[in-house]
Amino acid sequence: MDYLQNLTLALPEIWLAVCGMALLMIGVFAGESAARVISWLSALALVVAGVLVVFATPDRSSTALGGLFITDSFGAFMKLLVLAGSILSLVMSLDYNEREKIARFEFPVLFVFATTGMFMMISANDLISLYIGLELQNLSLYVVASFQRDSIRSTEAGLKYFVLGALSSGLLLYGASLVYGFAGTTRFGGLAHMLIAHNSPALGVIIGIVFIAAALAFKVSAVPFHMWTPDVYEGAPTPVTAFFAAAPKIAALALFVRVLIEPFGPLVAQWQQIIVFISIASMALGSYAAINQKNIKRLMAYSSIANVGYVLVGLAAGNEAGVRGVMIYMAIYLAMVIGAFACILCMRENGRYIETIEDLAGLSHTQPLLAAVFGVFLFSLAGIPPLAGFFGKLYVFLAAIEAKLYALAVIGVLTSVVGAYYYVRIVKIMYFDEPTVRFDRPLGAPISAVLTVTGLVTLLFFAYPAPILAGAKLAAATLFPG
């Protein structure tokens, strides 16, 4: 019976692992000519995994694999967001890879394996399974970041991400060893019971939490562990950058929330100080550093750092409303950032991709529909109502106010005003400057489909937010059973 339960609860992960290996074998025997077919098969495998996530998630939290793995509504919600990010990024990469002559069958297979690792991260119920899932994701991401082998920038991006990623993994392992040494267990449930039983936890446990939080802050590119983000975002192929900005970030934030709320929930007074600091630092640096950027991908990197700061406002609250705000924000951010990068992929002149912000000058005159869609994403990222981005920030700030973190909420609002400057500046360039470049047409069916879906979600979220709000409420409640 336990064997069948293990298979059922971990069915999405098993499915993705089997599909990844099967697609890898197909690619080996079929050769590079099958790259596009394998990309569509990978997307189909991810869609099926989404169906399995919905049907394999029980009504109550359930553990499998000897307690190393947990399946609950929180995990299901975040896994569906990860799948959406992976699928949209994979679809965006089809035409790009062919134009850049990097259409190899390994590319979509690495997306599948990375998504498998993200699933393991989200469902981790032990510090050991947490690390295994994290490394499975990282090994795939190191490769896709440097997939454009003939590009020095892409190779540099992969190398920087690898070196700094190895450092963060070391921090995580050291923190986990400290926690295990002083607490005597690595299970999330065991850690929670131990911390509840002891009113004053050992200093080694608190230091271990600091190291674990630092490692996870690196994965979500929060200040002061953000140093890899601008260079990797600029150097990696643009679809990979979109993937980095969406799926891995969602998975890492889900892991961040689960680790701090479940095993270390009793120590909220201790870790809350850390989260408040990195939240304020991320919002401030992300908002100010982006102002002077000339490369659109570097600007989006600093934008992602600022957005992580806003998300961490909800986590700093340490309550159910805060977790709900985090989930709502990430669902909205997924649509905004994927849509924005889809617009960046349309910046192509005579078959050559360009990335300078000034190249967007006069876009409203040459391609008015693309300019309007890009404007929607930019205004939403700035938090302008009634677009979706406004509601994302609203829910995390309300959670901070509920937790009496008034200063944090005020700083969040002020940095949002600063951040709005560089988003509005791009709109000004598109609508009021004279055209200097004429982008190639047509956009291509995959990119047009991604722009349509993400644009409608961003623009019309206010009309029907119920599915996201209700799903986030139900999912957040599973982490606070009391």
433 to each of 366, 381, 447, how far by Cα in Å?
12, 22, 25
For residues 277 and 316, what is the distance between their CA atoms, to the nearest angstrom? 9
Q: What is the pLDDT of residue 5?
A: 66
pLDDT at 280: 92
pLDDT tens digits, the chain, 482 residues: what are they?
466 766 788 888 889 999 999 998 988 888 777 888 888 999 999 999 999 988 887 777 777 777 788 888 888 899 999 999 999 999 888 888 778 777 778 888 999 999 999 999 898 888 888 888 888 888 888 888 888 777 788 888 888 888 888 888 888 999 989 988 888 888 888 888 887 777 677 788 888 888 888 888 888 888 888 888 888 888 888 888 888 888 889 999 998 888 888 888 777 888 888 889 999 999 999 888 888 888 888 898 999 999 999 999 999 988 888 899 999 999 999 999 999 998 888 888 777 788 888 888 888 888 888 889 989 999 999 888 888 889 989 999 999 998 888 898 999 999 999 888 888 898 898 888 887 777 777 777 888 888 899 999 999 888 888 889 998 888 888 888 76
Q: What is the C-alpha separation between 348 and 358, in angstroms, rounded?
A: 13
* pLDDT of amino acid 99: 80
What integer pLDDT is reported at residue 125 of this predicted model?
87
Tell me which amino acid residue 305 is: I
Q: What is the full DSSP assignment across 61-127?
A: -EEEGGGTEEE-HHHHHHHHHHHHHHHHHHHHHHHHHHHTT---THHHHHHHHHHHHHHHHHTB-BH
The residue ranges of DSSP E strands in 219-369, in sequence order, are 348-349, 352-353
